[in-house]
Amino acid sequence: MECQGEVIAGLRAAFHTGVTIPLEFRLTELKGLLALMEENEAQILDALHRDLRKPKFEAAISEIEIVRNDICFAINNLKTWMLPEYVGTNLATKFDDCFIQRQPFGVVLIIGAWNYPLQLILLPLVGAIAAGNCALLKPSEISQATEALLAELIPKYLSKECYVVTCGGAEDTRRLLENRFDHIFYTGSQAVARKILLAAAVHLTPVTLELGGKTPCLIYGRIDMKTAAKRLVWAKYFNAGQSCVAPDYILCTKETQDALLPAIREALEAFYGPDPQKCPDVGRIVTDKHWNHLMDLLGKSKGNVTIGGESTQEEKYIAPTVLVDVDETDILMQEEIFGPILPILTVETLEEAITFVNAREKPLALYVFSDEPQVVTTVLESTNSGGFCANDGILHMTLPTLPFGGVGASGMGCYHGRYTFETFSHKRACLLRSWGLERIGALRYPPYSDTRLSWLRWATTTKKSSCSIM
């Protein structure tokens, strides 16, 4: 790894030239990124296949299309986003210009993750570029093929002075964090997130943390089981369960479970055929270490495997698996699973299920499946989570108009679409006062008097749009 300090100093020098500020530059870079995505699709799919055996469909939708879409969204809207936002004035500032100016922070650090190695580093980059920052990208070293591809392609399509890819492991990242950045964007685990926040505190650097947690999936009330099962299975086993917003576990009644299991079997068969291992649409676990960990969890679980359970070490394959008779003390319920293993816990009432969820950390996403609107509303109103989706999974994060982020232990800050631009911008309050109206302005000067104060009070309270002093 080249001298990190020098790289960052270089980025800072580039930022100070002001080259990233004009709209034209940002659009050029965004178009460069778009070209990168469009001209290298085959290479990208290949790298993702080597890292995670990602099925082409999944890679196309969740890595290529989502990024392309976001780039286009930014290109189409950037001019508007960059405009000064004029805000309401009060009586005293009637002849003044009051607006919010969006400014880049400077040099930002983006740390990616391995499960969606392209999306999770490029979506933040889109916003960082759009907002006028320079960026240092640190892709995950675990998804090696994609890491290498990014290191090769980014300098070919983007300004080498303003956007740099740096590769390395945990120790290199730790040393990287000793440097000062103007914003740090991290996707990954809570343990590492704490270290990042600690490092950021030294420089008072703002951070965005996209973490995870155990995403609950509640199934209650009257329900079209077949459809629910299909959507649930799709969301769970997409990317072999290695999604931060995959449904982690299910809560439902025993009766629902009995109806759900055959529906899940049916959906799995329809999707992956009788032998999922041979199906090209089934992904693999990212590394041996992760595979071993999942197998360990499966082995130690006190639940009963009722669907799947097969595995092959050489291929890092685990079949889409469902367990029943799991309770809250089970090892599968102690950490985010992040694999194709779905425990079902039977909880007899919706209220108990909500209590169960609320006794735990706020998750990144929360799902409820039901044909009864009242059930959906109750769950929505009584719980907290980063995002919420009723009667489906994952899809809420594909909408660029919804902020995507966690709350509590699942993260802080959000992004996607305009939110990424806002995340990487400082909203500077600007007030350009006129020279006139000095007589009104003079009401605030000492010597203070009751009369002046009354006038000021009157001026304050008769306004429609409220203002504080003056």
Question: Is the four-CA dihedral 223, 224, 228, 229 of positive or negative sign?
Answer: positive
Encode 344-404 in three state secondary structure.
EEECCCHHHHHHHHHCCCCCCEEEEECCCHHHHHHHHHHCCCCEEEECCCCHHHHCCCCCE
What track of x and - describes contact with other proteins for positions 275 through 294 (by CB under 8 A)?
Answer: ----x-x-------------
> Token digits for 429?
């309050």
Query: Could you identify the residue written with the tokens 């303003």?
Result: 162
Q: Does residue 79 bind other proteins (CB under 8 A)?
A: no
Q: Does residue 396 bind other proteins (CB under 8 A)?
A: yes
Q: Which of 9, 16, 79, 288 binds other proteins (CB under 8 A)?
A: 16
Q: Does residue 274 bind other proteins (CB under 8 A)?
A: no
Beta carbon of residue 301, minimum distance to other proteins (angstroms, whole number)? 27
Exposed / middle / buried, residue 356 (Cβ in 10 Å: 0-12, 13-18, 19+): middle
Q: Does residue 462 bind other proteins (CB under 8 A)?
A: no
DSSP state of 62: I
Within 185-204, the residues that bind other proteins by CB under 8 A are 190, 193-194, 197-198, 200-202, 204
| Candidates 98, 162, 217, 244; catalytic one | 244
Q: Does residue 18 bind other proteins (CB under 8 A)?
A: yes
d(CA 358, CA 15): 45
Q: Does residue 95 bind other proteins (CB under 8 A)?
A: no
Within 284-343, the residues that bind other proteins by CB under 8 A are none
Beta carbon of residue 214, minimum distance to other proteins (angstroms, whole number)? 15
User: Is residue 45 a contact partner of residue 59, using CB atoms and an 8 Å limit?
Assistant: yes
Active site residue 244: yes
User: Is residue 308 a contact partner of residue 271, using CB atoms and an 8 Å limit?
Assistant: no
Q: Which of 38, 152, 178, 224 binds other proteins (CB under 8 A)?
A: 224
Binding piece for other proteins, criterion CB under 8 A, among 122-130, 163-171, 294-302, 400-408: 400-408
Q: Does residue 402 bind other proteins (CB under 8 A)?
A: yes
User: Is residue 242 a contact partner of residue 394, using CB atoms and an 8 Å limit?
Assistant: no
| Candidates 58, 210, 361, 422; catalytic one | 210
Q: Does residue 428 bind other proteins (CB under 8 A)?
A: yes
DSSP state of 415: B
> Token digits for 31?
């178009």
Q: Does residue 271 bind other proteins (CB under 8 A)?
A: yes
> Token digits for 318?
């685990």
Cβ closest to other proteins, residue 230 vs residue 316: 230
Query: Which residues are catalytically annotated?
Result: 210, 244
